Structure 1
Amino acid sequence: MSDLKFIWFDFGGVLSPPIPALFEQYQFKTGLAPRVLQQAMSDVADELGVPMLAPVESALLSEQEWGARLEQALRRRDPQIDLSRARLQTFGEQWFAGVPANAPLVAAVRALKQAGFSVGILTNNVVEWSPHWRAMVGLEDVVDLIVDSSAERTRKPEATFFQVATERSGVAAEHSLLIDDVGENIEAAAALGWQVLHFRDNHQALSQLQRLTGVSLLQPAGEPA
Protein backbone atom coordinates (compact mmCIF):
# COMPACT_ATOMS: atom_id res chain seq x y z
CA MET A 1 0.00 0.00 0.00
CA SER A 2 1.67 3.18 -1.20
CA ASP A 3 0.49 5.39 1.67
CA LEU A 4 1.69 3.01 4.40
CA LYS A 5 4.94 4.20 5.96
CA PHE A 6 5.18 2.89 9.52
CA ILE A 7 4.08 -0.56 10.73
CA TRP A 8 3.59 -1.00 14.46
CA PHE A 9 3.47 -4.46 16.04
CA ASP A 10 1.91 -5.23 19.39
CA PHE A 11 4.07 -7.43 21.62
CA GLY A 12 1.79 -9.57 23.80
CA GLY A 13 -0.24 -11.96 21.66
CA VAL A 14 1.37 -10.85 18.38
CA LEU A 15 5.16 -11.04 18.73
CA SER A 16 4.63 -13.37 21.69
CA PRO A 17 2.49 -16.51 21.95
CA PRO A 18 -1.25 -15.92 22.57
CA ILE A 19 -2.02 -14.48 26.01
CA PRO A 20 -4.12 -17.54 27.09
CA ALA A 21 -1.12 -19.75 26.29
CA LEU A 22 1.12 -17.55 28.46
CA PHE A 23 -1.28 -17.92 31.40
CA GLU A 24 -1.34 -21.68 30.87
CA GLN A 25 2.46 -21.83 30.87
CA TYR A 26 2.52 -19.78 34.06
CA GLN A 27 0.11 -22.26 35.63
CA PHE A 28 2.49 -25.08 34.71
CA LYS A 29 5.34 -23.19 36.42
CA THR A 30 3.45 -22.12 39.55
CA GLY A 31 0.23 -24.11 39.93
CA LEU A 32 -1.85 -20.92 39.74
CA ALA A 33 -4.88 -21.36 37.49
CA PRO A 34 -5.42 -18.52 34.97
CA ARG A 35 -8.84 -17.57 36.36
CA VAL A 36 -7.42 -17.40 39.91
CA LEU A 37 -4.47 -15.24 38.88
CA GLN A 38 -6.61 -12.99 36.67
CA GLN A 39 -9.08 -12.47 39.52
CA ALA A 40 -6.23 -11.38 41.79
CA MET A 41 -4.94 -9.02 39.09
CA SER A 42 -8.43 -7.56 38.79
CA ASP A 43 -8.72 -7.19 42.57
CA VAL A 44 -5.47 -5.21 42.71
CA ALA A 45 -6.54 -3.02 39.78
CA ASP A 46 -10.01 -2.44 41.22
CA GLU A 47 -8.44 -0.98 44.36
CA LEU A 48 -6.87 1.68 42.12
CA GLY A 49 -9.90 2.08 39.85
CA VAL A 50 -8.03 1.05 36.68
CA PRO A 51 -8.09 -1.83 34.13
CA MET A 52 -6.60 -5.21 35.09
CA LEU A 53 -2.94 -4.69 34.14
CA ALA A 54 -2.83 -0.90 34.26
CA PRO A 55 -1.16 -0.81 37.72
CA VAL A 56 2.09 -2.10 36.22
CA GLU A 57 1.57 -1.24 32.53
CA SER A 58 1.15 2.43 33.42
CA ALA A 59 3.83 2.17 36.13
CA LEU A 60 1.44 3.09 38.93
CA LEU A 61 3.08 0.34 40.99
CA SER A 62 6.52 -1.23 40.82
CA GLU A 63 6.67 -4.91 39.92
CA GLN A 64 7.62 -5.70 43.52
CA GLU A 65 4.71 -3.77 45.03
CA TRP A 66 2.27 -5.21 42.48
CA GLY A 67 3.48 -8.73 43.28
CA ALA A 68 3.03 -8.14 46.99
CA ARG A 69 -0.52 -6.91 46.38
CA LEU A 70 -1.21 -9.92 44.14
CA GLU A 71 -0.15 -12.21 46.97
CA GLN A 72 -2.46 -10.41 49.39
CA ALA A 73 -5.36 -10.62 46.91
CA LEU A 74 -4.78 -14.33 46.32
CA ARG A 75 -4.66 -15.07 50.05
CA ARG A 76 -7.79 -13.00 50.75
CA ARG A 77 -9.79 -15.18 48.37
CA ASP A 78 -8.12 -18.45 49.42
CA PRO A 79 -6.17 -18.37 52.70
CA GLN A 80 -4.90 -21.91 52.03
CA ILE A 81 -3.58 -21.19 48.53
CA ASP A 82 -0.18 -22.71 47.72
CA LEU A 83 2.15 -19.96 46.48
CA SER A 84 5.35 -21.89 47.13
CA ARG A 85 6.30 -22.03 43.43
CA ALA A 86 5.21 -18.50 42.52
CA ARG A 87 7.71 -15.64 42.56
CA LEU A 88 5.16 -12.86 42.40
CA GLN A 89 7.47 -9.98 43.34
CA THR A 90 9.75 -10.82 40.40
CA PHE A 91 6.81 -11.82 38.24
CA GLY A 92 8.25 -11.02 34.80
CA GLU A 93 11.34 -13.19 35.14
CA GLN A 94 9.21 -16.26 35.90
CA TRP A 95 6.45 -15.33 33.43
CA PHE A 96 8.84 -15.08 30.46
CA ALA A 97 11.19 -17.93 31.41
CA GLY A 98 11.30 -20.47 28.59
CA VAL A 99 8.72 -18.60 26.48
CA PRO A 100 9.61 -18.39 22.76
CA ALA A 101 8.76 -15.47 20.51
CA ASN A 102 6.19 -15.85 17.73
CA ALA A 103 8.87 -16.58 15.15
CA PRO A 104 6.83 -16.00 11.95
CA LEU A 105 5.80 -12.51 13.10
CA VAL A 106 9.33 -11.66 14.22
CA ALA A 107 10.50 -12.75 10.76
CA ALA A 108 7.85 -10.48 9.22
CA VAL A 109 9.21 -7.48 11.13
CA ARG A 110 12.65 -8.17 9.69
CA ALA A 111 11.31 -8.68 6.15
CA LEU A 112 9.30 -5.46 6.22
CA LYS A 113 12.26 -3.48 7.51
CA GLN A 114 14.45 -4.94 4.77
CA ALA A 115 11.79 -3.96 2.22
CA GLY A 116 12.06 -0.32 3.29
CA PHE A 117 9.20 0.10 5.75
CA SER A 118 9.69 1.70 9.14
CA VAL A 119 8.75 -0.77 11.87
CA GLY A 120 8.11 -0.42 15.59
CA ILE A 121 6.70 -2.10 18.66
CA LEU A 122 3.72 -0.47 20.38
CA THR A 123 3.27 -2.31 23.65
CA ASN A 124 1.48 -2.21 26.96
CA ASN A 125 4.32 -3.45 29.12
CA VAL A 126 6.09 -3.21 32.46
CA VAL A 127 9.29 -1.39 33.42
CA GLU A 128 10.90 -4.42 35.07
CA TRP A 129 9.87 -6.81 32.28
CA SER A 130 11.75 -4.94 29.57
CA PRO A 131 14.98 -7.01 29.62
CA HIS A 132 13.00 -10.26 29.42
CA TRP A 133 10.66 -9.50 26.54
CA ARG A 134 13.19 -7.54 24.50
CA ALA A 135 15.64 -10.43 24.66
CA MET A 136 12.84 -12.81 23.73
CA VAL A 137 11.93 -11.07 20.45
CA GLY A 138 15.50 -10.06 19.57
CA LEU A 139 14.53 -7.03 17.47
CA GLU A 140 16.60 -4.28 19.09
CA ASP A 141 18.78 -3.96 15.98
CA VAL A 142 15.78 -3.97 13.61
CA VAL A 143 12.96 -1.78 14.89
CA ASP A 144 12.99 1.97 14.47
CA LEU A 145 11.04 2.65 17.66
CA ILE A 146 9.67 0.94 20.76
CA VAL A 147 6.89 2.82 22.55
CA ASP A 148 6.20 1.21 25.93
CA SER A 149 3.23 2.13 28.12
CA SER A 150 5.24 1.88 31.32
CA ALA A 151 7.67 4.54 30.10
CA GLU A 152 4.88 6.84 28.89
CA ARG A 153 2.49 6.33 31.82
CA THR A 154 -0.33 5.85 29.32
CA ARG A 155 -1.43 2.69 27.56
CA LYS A 156 -3.52 1.28 24.75
CA PRO A 157 -6.40 1.96 24.15
CA GLU A 158 -5.91 5.52 25.48
CA ALA A 159 -5.71 8.11 22.71
CA THR A 160 -2.68 9.75 24.33
CA PHE A 161 -0.60 6.62 23.81
CA PHE A 162 -1.28 6.55 20.07
CA GLN A 163 -0.50 10.26 19.88
CA VAL A 164 2.88 9.62 21.51
CA ALA A 165 3.59 7.01 18.82
CA THR A 166 2.77 9.31 15.93
CA GLU A 167 4.79 12.14 17.45
CA ARG A 168 7.82 9.91 17.99
CA SER A 169 7.68 8.40 14.53
CA GLY A 170 6.93 11.65 12.71
CA VAL A 171 4.43 9.66 10.64
CA ALA A 172 0.79 10.73 10.59
CA ALA A 173 -1.93 8.35 11.77
CA GLU A 174 -3.23 7.69 8.25
CA HIS A 175 0.20 6.41 7.18
CA SER A 176 0.61 4.22 10.27
CA LEU A 177 -0.60 0.62 10.69
CA LEU A 178 -1.26 -1.08 14.03
CA ILE A 179 -1.20 -4.88 14.23
CA ASP A 180 -2.82 -5.91 17.52
CA ASP A 181 -4.79 -8.86 18.88
CA VAL A 182 -7.05 -6.81 21.18
CA GLY A 183 -10.21 -5.50 19.55
CA GLU A 184 -10.45 -2.51 21.90
CA ASN A 185 -6.98 -1.35 20.81
CA ILE A 186 -7.81 -1.81 17.14
CA GLU A 187 -11.01 0.21 17.52
CA ALA A 188 -9.20 3.00 19.37
CA ALA A 189 -6.47 3.28 16.73
CA ALA A 190 -9.00 3.23 13.88
CA ALA A 191 -11.00 6.00 15.56
CA LEU A 192 -7.85 8.13 15.50
CA GLY A 193 -7.35 7.56 11.78
CA TRP A 194 -4.81 4.74 11.91
CA GLN A 195 -4.78 1.84 9.51
CA VAL A 196 -5.38 -1.36 11.49
CA LEU A 197 -4.96 -5.12 11.21
CA HIS A 198 -6.72 -7.20 13.86
CA PHE A 199 -4.42 -10.15 14.55
CA ARG A 200 -6.24 -13.47 14.97
CA ASP A 201 -3.63 -16.00 13.88
CA ASN A 202 -0.34 -16.03 12.00
CA HIS A 203 -1.70 -17.07 8.61
CA GLN A 204 -4.54 -14.53 8.63
CA ALA A 205 -2.31 -11.68 9.76
CA LEU A 206 0.57 -12.44 7.42
CA SER A 207 -1.79 -12.87 4.47
CA GLN A 208 -3.36 -9.46 5.12
CA LEU A 209 0.00 -7.85 5.75
CA GLN A 210 1.39 -9.29 2.53
CA ARG A 211 -1.56 -7.83 0.59
CA LEU A 212 -1.15 -4.43 2.26
CA THR A 213 2.59 -4.15 1.71
CA GLY A 214 3.37 -6.26 -1.34
CA VAL A 215 6.16 -7.91 0.67
CA SER A 216 6.31 -11.71 0.45
CA LEU A 217 5.66 -13.01 3.95
CA LEU A 218 4.14 -16.44 3.20
CA GLN A 219 5.53 -19.56 1.58
CA PRO A 220 3.72 -20.69 -1.61
CA ALA A 221 1.92 -23.41 0.37
CA GLY A 222 0.46 -20.74 2.61
CA GLU A 223 2.64 -21.43 5.62
CA PRO A 224 4.41 -18.55 7.37
CA ALA A 225 7.85 -17.85 5.95
Structure 2
Amino acid sequence: MSAPEFIWFDFGGVLSPPIPALFEQYQLKTGLAPRVLQQAMSDVADELGVPMLAPVENALLTEREWGARLEQALRRRDPQIDLSRARLQGFGEQWFAGVPANAPLVAAVRALKRNGFRVGILTNNVVEWSLHWRAMVGLDEVVDLIVDSSQERTRKPDTAFFEVATARSGVAPQHSLLIDDVAENIHAAAALGWQVLHFTDNHQALAQLQRVTGVSLLQPAVEPA
Protein backbone atom coordinates (compact mmCIF):
# COMPACT_ATOMS: atom_id res chain seq x y z
CA MET A 1 0.00 0.00 0.00
CA SER A 2 1.45 3.38 -1.01
CA ALA A 3 0.89 6.54 1.00
CA PRO A 4 -2.59 7.83 0.11
CA GLU A 5 -3.41 11.41 -0.86
CA PHE A 6 -6.83 11.40 0.80
CA ILE A 7 -7.81 9.39 3.90
CA TRP A 8 -11.50 8.77 4.51
CA PHE A 9 -12.75 7.75 7.95
CA ASP A 10 -16.06 6.01 8.58
CA PHE A 11 -18.05 7.48 11.46
CA GLY A 12 -20.10 4.71 13.10
CA GLY A 13 -17.77 2.12 14.62
CA VAL A 14 -14.57 3.99 13.73
CA LEU A 15 -14.83 7.58 14.95
CA SER A 16 -17.59 6.43 17.31
CA PRO A 17 -17.61 3.51 19.75
CA PRO A 18 -18.36 0.08 18.20
CA ILE A 19 -21.92 -0.30 16.93
CA PRO A 20 -22.75 -3.17 19.35
CA ALA A 21 -21.69 -0.91 22.23
CA LEU A 22 -24.01 1.83 20.98
CA PHE A 23 -26.95 -0.58 20.92
CA GLU A 24 -26.08 -1.70 24.46
CA GLN A 25 -25.95 1.91 25.67
CA TYR A 26 -29.32 2.55 24.03
CA GLN A 27 -30.72 -0.45 25.92
CA LEU A 28 -29.59 1.12 29.19
CA LYS A 29 -31.43 4.32 28.25
CA THR A 30 -34.63 2.71 26.98
CA GLY A 31 -34.86 -0.93 28.04
CA LEU A 32 -34.97 -2.04 24.40
CA ALA A 33 -32.73 -5.05 23.80
CA PRO A 34 -30.50 -4.76 20.72
CA ARG A 35 -32.04 -7.80 18.98
CA VAL A 36 -35.56 -6.42 19.55
CA LEU A 37 -34.68 -2.98 18.19
CA GLN A 38 -32.74 -4.39 15.25
CA GLN A 39 -35.66 -6.64 14.34
CA ALA A 40 -37.98 -3.62 14.30
CA MET A 41 -35.49 -1.72 12.12
CA SER A 42 -35.38 -4.68 9.74
CA ASP A 43 -39.18 -4.88 9.67
CA VAL A 44 -39.44 -1.20 8.67
CA ALA A 45 -36.74 -1.60 6.01
CA ASP A 46 -38.32 -4.78 4.64
CA GLU A 47 -41.55 -2.87 3.99
CA LEU A 48 -39.55 -0.61 1.67
CA GLY A 49 -37.37 -3.38 0.24
CA VAL A 50 -34.09 -1.82 1.39
CA PRO A 51 -31.27 -2.66 3.88
CA MET A 52 -31.88 -2.19 7.61
CA LEU A 53 -30.92 1.47 8.03
CA ALA A 54 -31.41 2.65 4.45
CA PRO A 55 -34.83 4.21 5.18
CA VAL A 56 -33.13 6.98 7.16
CA GLU A 57 -29.57 6.77 5.82
CA ASN A 58 -30.90 7.36 2.29
CA ALA A 59 -33.44 9.87 3.62
CA LEU A 60 -36.37 7.82 2.32
CA LEU A 61 -38.12 8.61 5.61
CA THR A 62 -37.68 11.48 8.05
CA GLU A 63 -36.48 10.59 11.52
CA ARG A 64 -40.01 11.22 12.84
CA GLU A 65 -41.62 8.99 10.20
CA TRP A 66 -39.06 6.25 10.81
CA GLY A 67 -39.54 6.45 14.58
CA ALA A 68 -43.31 6.12 14.20
CA ARG A 69 -42.84 3.05 12.01
CA LEU A 70 -40.36 1.59 14.50
CA GLU A 71 -42.95 1.94 17.25
CA GLN A 72 -45.57 0.21 15.12
CA ALA A 73 -43.15 -2.61 14.27
CA LEU A 74 -42.21 -3.09 17.92
CA ARG A 75 -45.84 -3.21 19.03
CA ARG A 76 -46.79 -5.64 16.25
CA ARG A 77 -44.27 -8.15 17.57
CA ASP A 78 -44.98 -7.45 21.24
CA PRO A 79 -48.22 -5.55 22.02
CA GLN A 80 -47.18 -5.32 25.70
CA ILE A 81 -43.73 -3.84 25.05
CA ASP A 82 -42.72 -0.99 27.35
CA LEU A 83 -41.71 2.03 25.27
CA SER A 84 -42.13 4.56 28.04
CA ARG A 85 -38.42 5.47 28.09
CA ALA A 86 -37.86 5.40 24.32
CA ARG A 87 -38.10 8.58 22.29
CA LEU A 88 -38.23 6.87 18.91
CA GLN A 89 -39.40 9.89 16.91
CA GLY A 90 -36.41 11.83 18.21
CA PHE A 91 -34.15 8.80 18.00
CA GLY A 92 -30.84 10.50 17.26
CA GLU A 93 -30.81 12.83 20.24
CA GLN A 94 -31.42 9.93 22.64
CA TRP A 95 -29.06 7.55 20.78
CA PHE A 96 -26.11 9.95 20.94
CA ALA A 97 -26.76 11.41 24.41
CA GLY A 98 -23.73 10.79 26.61
CA VAL A 99 -21.84 8.88 23.91
CA PRO A 100 -18.15 9.83 23.59
CA ALA A 101 -16.19 9.83 20.36
CA ASN A 102 -13.46 7.25 19.77
CA ALA A 103 -10.76 9.64 21.00
CA PRO A 104 -7.67 7.85 19.59
CA LEU A 105 -9.11 7.82 16.07
CA VAL A 106 -10.26 11.43 16.31
CA ALA A 107 -6.72 12.32 17.41
CA ALA A 108 -5.37 10.41 14.40
CA VAL A 109 -7.50 12.50 12.04
CA ARG A 110 -6.04 15.65 13.57
CA ALA A 111 -2.48 14.31 13.43
CA LEU A 112 -2.78 13.30 9.78
CA LYS A 113 -4.18 16.72 8.87
CA ARG A 114 -1.30 18.44 10.69
CA ASN A 115 1.11 16.31 8.68
CA GLY A 116 -0.28 17.41 5.34
CA PHE A 117 -2.76 14.66 4.51
CA ARG A 118 -6.22 15.47 3.24
CA VAL A 119 -8.82 13.82 5.47
CA GLY A 120 -12.56 13.29 5.30
CA ILE A 121 -15.52 11.44 6.76
CA LEU A 122 -17.42 9.02 4.55
CA THR A 123 -20.53 8.07 6.49
CA ASN A 124 -23.87 6.36 6.22
CA ASN A 125 -25.86 8.76 8.37
CA VAL A 126 -29.17 10.52 8.95
CA VAL A 127 -30.24 14.10 8.17
CA GLU A 128 -31.56 14.79 11.66
CA TRP A 129 -28.55 13.22 13.39
CA SER A 130 -25.98 15.54 11.83
CA LEU A 131 -25.91 18.04 14.67
CA HIS A 132 -25.41 15.30 17.26
CA TRP A 133 -22.67 13.21 15.68
CA ARG A 134 -20.71 16.14 14.27
CA ALA A 135 -20.64 17.81 17.70
CA MET A 136 -19.56 14.50 19.19
CA VAL A 137 -16.45 14.07 17.02
CA GLY A 138 -15.65 17.80 16.81
CA LEU A 139 -13.90 17.61 13.44
CA ASP A 140 -15.84 20.11 11.33
CA GLU A 141 -12.91 22.54 11.32
CA VAL A 142 -10.37 19.80 10.64
CA VAL A 143 -11.69 17.58 7.85
CA ASP A 144 -11.56 18.61 4.21
CA LEU A 145 -14.83 16.89 3.29
CA ILE A 146 -17.81 15.13 4.83
CA VAL A 147 -19.80 12.93 2.45
CA ASP A 148 -23.04 11.83 4.11
CA SER A 149 -25.40 9.24 2.64
CA SER A 150 -28.50 11.13 3.76
CA GLN A 151 -27.43 14.11 1.67
CA GLU A 152 -26.56 12.03 -1.39
CA ARG A 153 -29.48 9.53 -1.25
CA THR A 154 -26.96 6.71 -1.75
CA ARG A 155 -24.89 4.87 0.83
CA LYS A 156 -21.97 2.52 1.35
CA PRO A 157 -21.51 -0.04 -0.16
CA ASP A 158 -23.18 1.42 -3.28
CA THR A 159 -20.79 2.25 -6.10
CA ALA A 160 -22.52 5.61 -6.60
CA PHE A 161 -21.59 6.72 -3.09
CA PHE A 162 -17.90 6.05 -3.63
CA GLU A 163 -18.11 7.86 -6.96
CA VAL A 164 -19.48 10.93 -5.17
CA ALA A 165 -16.53 10.84 -2.76
CA THR A 166 -14.06 10.52 -5.63
CA ALA A 167 -15.64 13.41 -7.51
CA ARG A 168 -15.73 15.67 -4.44
CA SER A 169 -12.14 14.99 -3.45
CA GLY A 170 -10.72 15.05 -6.97
CA VAL A 171 -8.47 12.17 -5.88
CA ALA A 172 -8.35 8.94 -7.89
CA PRO A 173 -9.49 5.75 -6.12
CA GLN A 174 -5.97 4.28 -6.03
CA HIS A 175 -4.79 7.31 -4.04
CA SER A 176 -7.77 7.26 -1.66
CA LEU A 177 -7.85 5.21 1.54
CA LEU A 178 -11.05 4.13 3.31
CA ILE A 179 -10.97 3.14 6.98
CA ASP A 180 -14.19 1.28 7.81
CA ASP A 181 -15.33 -1.41 10.24
CA VAL A 182 -17.87 -3.03 7.87
CA ALA A 183 -16.40 -5.74 5.65
CA GLU A 184 -19.02 -5.17 2.94
CA ASN A 185 -17.95 -1.53 2.61
CA ILE A 186 -14.28 -2.49 2.53
CA HIS A 187 -14.86 -5.05 -0.23
CA ALA A 188 -16.92 -2.58 -2.27
CA ALA A 189 -14.26 0.13 -2.05
CA ALA A 190 -11.45 -2.30 -2.87
CA ALA A 191 -13.36 -3.53 -5.92
CA LEU A 192 -13.40 0.06 -7.19
CA GLY A 193 -9.63 0.38 -6.78
CA TRP A 194 -9.54 2.16 -3.42
CA GLN A 195 -6.92 1.46 -0.80
CA VAL A 196 -8.66 0.03 2.26
CA LEU A 197 -8.03 -0.54 5.95
CA HIS A 198 -10.54 -2.82 7.67
CA PHE A 199 -10.88 -1.43 11.19
CA THR A 200 -11.11 -4.06 13.93
CA ASP A 201 -9.69 -2.17 16.91
CA ASN A 202 -7.81 1.02 17.65
CA HIS A 203 -4.33 -0.46 17.99
CA GLN A 204 -4.59 -2.48 14.77
CA ALA A 205 -5.93 0.46 12.76
CA LEU A 206 -3.48 3.01 14.13
CA ALA A 207 -0.52 0.67 13.61
CA GLN A 208 -1.46 0.07 9.96
CA LEU A 209 -2.19 3.75 9.38
CA GLN A 210 1.13 4.71 10.95
CA ARG A 211 2.97 2.29 8.66
CA VAL A 212 1.34 3.56 5.49
CA THR A 213 1.55 7.29 6.27
CA GLY A 214 4.74 7.52 8.31
CA VAL A 215 2.90 9.66 10.86
CA SER A 216 3.36 8.72 14.52
CA LEU A 217 -0.10 7.74 15.73
CA LEU A 218 0.47 5.15 18.46
CA GLN A 219 0.94 6.56 21.94
CA PRO A 220 4.04 5.14 23.66
CA ALA A 221 3.33 2.92 26.63
CA VAL A 222 3.67 4.69 29.96
CA GLU A 223 6.29 3.09 32.18
CA PRO A 224 5.09 2.43 35.74
CA ALA A 225 6.63 4.70 38.36
Structure-2-length-normalised TM-score: 0.97
Residues 47-101 of structure 1: CA deviation (Å, up to 9, x unaligned): 0000000000000000000000000000000000000000000000000000000
Q: How big is the alpha-carbon RMSD for the aligned residues of Structure 1 and Structure 2?
A: 1.0
1:217 paired with 2:217, answer yes
**Residue 56 of structure 2 aligns to which amino acid in structure 1?**
V
Could you say what secondary structure the match of 2:122 adopts?
A: strand
Aligned match of 1:39: 39
The residue correspondences of 1:17-166 to structure 2 (distance < 5 A) are 17-166=17-166
**Residue 171 of structure 1 aligns to which amino acid in structure 2?**
V
Aligned match of 2:16: 16
Could you say what secondary structure the match of 1:122 adopts?
A: strand
Give the Cα separation in 2 of the matches to 1:3 and 1:22: 32
Give the Cα separation in 2 of the matches to 1:156 and 1:108: 23
Could you say what secondary structure the match of 1:61 adopts?
A: coil
- In the comparison of the two structures, how many residue pairs are matched? 222
Query: What runs of 5+ residues in structure 2 fail to find an aligned partner?
Result: none
Give the Cα separation in 2 of the matches to 1:82 and 1:126: 26
Q: 1:221 offset after TM fit, Å? A: 2.8
Q: 1:220 offset after TM fit, Å? A: 2.9
Give the Cα separation in 2 of the matches to 1:124 and 1:2: 27
Give the Cα separation in 2 of the matches to 1:200 and 1:139: 22
Could you say what secondary structure the match of 1:147 adopts?
A: strand
Give the Cα separation in 1 of the matches to 2:94 and 2:174: 39
Give the Cα separation in 2 of the matches to 1:66 and 1:2: 42
Give the Cα separation in 1 of the matches to 2:78 and 2:110: 46
Q: 1:4 offset after TM fit, Å? A: 1.1
Structure-1-length-normalised TM-score: 0.97
Q: 1:3 offset after TM fit, Å? A: 4.6
Could you say what secondary structure the match of 1:178 adopts?
A: strand
**Residue 66 of structure 2 aligns to which amino acid in structure 1?**
W
Query: What runs of 5+ residues in structure 1 fail to find an aligned partner?
Result: none
